[in-house]
Amino acid sequence: MSSKEPKTPEELEEMLRVVRKKITPETEGHGVLDFLCTKFTYRSREDWQEALLDGSSQINGKQVEDYNAILKAGDVISLDVTKIPEPDIDRDFKVVYEDDDILMVEKTGDLPVHPAGSFFKNTLWYMLVKQFGNVHIMNRLDRETSGLVLIARHHKAASVLGKQFERRQVGKEYDVLVEGLVSWDQYDALGYMGPAVSSKIRKKFSFTEAEDWQDYGKHSARTEFSVLRRSHELSHLHCRLHTGRTHQIRATLLSLGFPLVGDKIYGLDEQFFLSFIDGALTEQDYQKMRLRRQALHCSLMSFTHPMSGEDVVFESSLPKELAELILS
């Protein structure tokens, strides 16, 4: 995916078709095939060999003749992604607001936002670019998180909104369903985030409560929770983020003893995630998780419009599958 701003339909189509990766000093020294297999694990070694052979994967714009050729810093690998099969997703999304500067989009709980891994065309970014031209996605939601996504339609709007995010001037609130009947009505979770060292999952984080939470700088985390409903061993919570750490809500709730419904990493058992990546999740597993996705929904965003200066607020209702679960 190129960072260049496309100016013509042809440039846009090229951006959508070809992913480019520049070799850095930290990643040089590997053979071409070994690098592809290690960096892009969603294809087999045989698939990458075929891609090099038919020219859909190139180095510096040229077909590779030696699979073991050593990559140097500055080399550019280009990958034509049109031939790569992608997992099925829920392609349904709704534009709830549109003007010349921004879009506000509502996405489902089975739609990746950005290209990553085996997803490229089956992403919100790709579908928006095809419909609106080049766009800038301002807030990232996980594939299984539903709700509001803010889009800038040009560079100036993206720059202004980006500064609001940096200054924590963008309000983000979420609704979640958790396992267990929460005893408190409101809770202000103050602490810090760090790697979950005891977990088998490399990307998993943990939350630790601490009164001196602000001393932890970029690792500090604060989330305010309020209970909206308790029903059938489940609780419906509203969450207000004061910091925006990776997996902050999910990790915080797990540390408080209330794992997120349907969450394969921070839910009842992280073995669900390990089984998922191995393609071994069973229907019995899904029944235990209650949902096939995590019960996390971005329900409110507030910010200053990047061009008009008007304060704006957007809200999103709980999706049908979450509402039915807490009301059943």
Q: What is the mean pLDDT of residues 244-259?
A: 96
3-state secondary structure of 296: strand
Which neighbouring-strand residues pair with 98? 103
Per-residue pLDDT at 14 = 59
pTM here? Answer: 0.81
For helices 32-39 and 45-53, angle between their N-to-C axes, nearest 10 degrees: 130
User: In sequence order, which residues have a C-beta less than 8 Å from that of residue 162 and are 6 or more positions away?
Assistant: 138
Strands 186-195 and 311-315: unpaired
Is the separation of the CB atoms in 316 and 299 below 8 Å? yes
Q: Where are the alpha helices (DSSP H) in 54-199?
A: 124-132, 155-166
Strands 146-152 and 296-304: parallel
Per-residue pLDDT at 63 = 84
3-state secondary structure of 105: strand
The pLDDT-based confidence of 2 (bands split at 50, 70, 90) is very low
148/139 Cα distance (integer angstroms): 9
Here the tokens at position 7 are 């100016």
CA nearest 160: which of 236, 98, 227, 101?
101
Per-residue pLDDT at 107 = 97
Per-residue pLDDT at 11 = 63
pLDDT of residue 40 exceeding 80, the answer is no
Domains and CATH numbers, the chain: 9-82 (3.10.290.10), 93-167+298-327 (3.30.2350.10), 174-294 (3.30.2350.10)
Q: What is the mean pLDDT of residues 70-85?
A: 82
Q: What is the mean pLDDT of residues 192-198?
A: 94
Residues marked as catalytic: 142
Tell me, what DSSP letter sits at residue 20?
A: E
The pLDDT-based confidence of 47 (bands split at 50, 70, 90) is confident
Please name the amino acid found at residue 245: R
- CA atoms lying within 13 Å on the CB side of residue 12: 14
Here the tokens at position 131 are 């419909």
Per-residue pLDDT at 62 = 86
Q: What is the widest separation between alpha-carbon atoms in the chain?
A: 65
pLDDT of residue 1 exceeding 60, the answer is no
Which neighbouring-strand residues pair with 222? 190
CA dist 246 → 34, 92, 298 (Å): 30, 25, 15
Specify whether the backbone of 100 is left (phi greater than 0), alpha (psi in -120 to 50) or beta.
alpha
Q: Average per-residue pLDDT in the chain?
A: 90
Q: What percent of the chain has pLDDT over 70?
A: 93
Tell me, what DSSP letter sits at residue 244?
A: -
106/90 Cα distance (integer angstroms): 12
Q: Is 47 exposed, middle or buried (0-12, 13-18, 19+ CB in 10 A)?
A: middle
